[in-house]
A = this chain, B = another copy of it.
């Protein structure tokens, strides 16, 4: 009788409830009762069971438990990039709410790739998360409809769902950008540049809309050369800024559409110190050390975004069955100097 090779050792050789039961000389169900703190076990029996548990190093297999119970006490969060502090803060806030509900959070990065977003979301559904928070990378979420129908509570955050009707918790990008640009206008600027992310990204589009609204509210024309929507790669942003800041009629102020653009803009403006007239800057979304640098920003509250989305999710999980809701989280302007620079010339 040849020894069958066992390439895939089971979970090590972990003891099961059955093993514990055998060792304690009790029935399986009694072990289950002890492990789960259910009543109906004499202290004496319980002692024997606990002894066996310790001796064997038993730990309940929650995978099996979950299979039987139906719910996993797990929620998923699909975000763009865990290395980005914005999402890190958001995720941490979700984690805290989940923890308060006795639930585990699994988060994963889509890397801004719609395909990865879908793959990850569906992987989480296959693992039977009870609920899902999605920060969209793509703009078509119909792939989630069967899951939602099957009972996966789903809330979108930061950006709305595409082509389906679903809960969403968003920052007020339109209002925030409008306020920021109005702030620059109030300080005397008339030629204001906008550098933001690709316009198919909802948040970027909203912020651009806010920019245009503020300009229009002030009766100011927008030269399309002042508007640079596209990738937020430092190279592209740097080039876009160079273009806006040169020529006979350069912009005197900049509105940066997100924090990566803001960071690049700060670098570029710092780099040309002495090499040109001062340029005002307001950025959407706060950056670390923004206070030290004196960067005026429209601050979002990523933690509030995450917390609110998670709370809505758990309300759904608890049975709230109203129509999909859209919650908007306000922004606030933090004046620190860079946005209060007056225009340098005509």
A interface residues with partner B (beta carbon < 8 Å)? 1-4, 6-14, 57, 59-64, 66-67, 69-73, 81-85, 87-89, 91-93, 95, 99-102, 104-109, 122-123, 125-128, 130, 146-147, 149-152, 263, 266-267, 270, 287-289, 291-293, 303, 314, 317-319
A109 to B6, CA, bound (A): 29
**In the assembly, how many copies of this chain are there?**
2
Which of these, B92, B122, B152, contacts A12 with CB under 8 Å? B152
Which of these, B57, B102, B125, B263, contacts A289 with CB under 8 Å? B263
A-B CB contact pairs (8 Å), 18 listed: A6-B317, A6-B319, A8-B69, A8-B70, A10-B70, A12-B149, A57-B146, A57-B149, A59-B122, A59-B147, A63-B63, A63-B67, A63-B72, A64-B67, A95-B109, A104-B108, A263-B289, A267-B292
Determine how close the nearest CB of chain B comes to the CB of A97; give it in whole angstroms.
Answer: 11
Determine how close the nearest CB of chain B comes to the CB of A148; give it in whole angstroms.
Answer: 9
Residues of B near A69 (CB, < 8 A) are: 8
When A and B form their complex, which 6 residue pairs have the shortest distance between CB atoms, in order from nearest? Answer: A12-B151, A10-B70, A57-B146, A3-B102, A83-B92, A88-B88
A107 to B146, CA, bound (A): 27
A9 to B147, CA, bound (A): 14
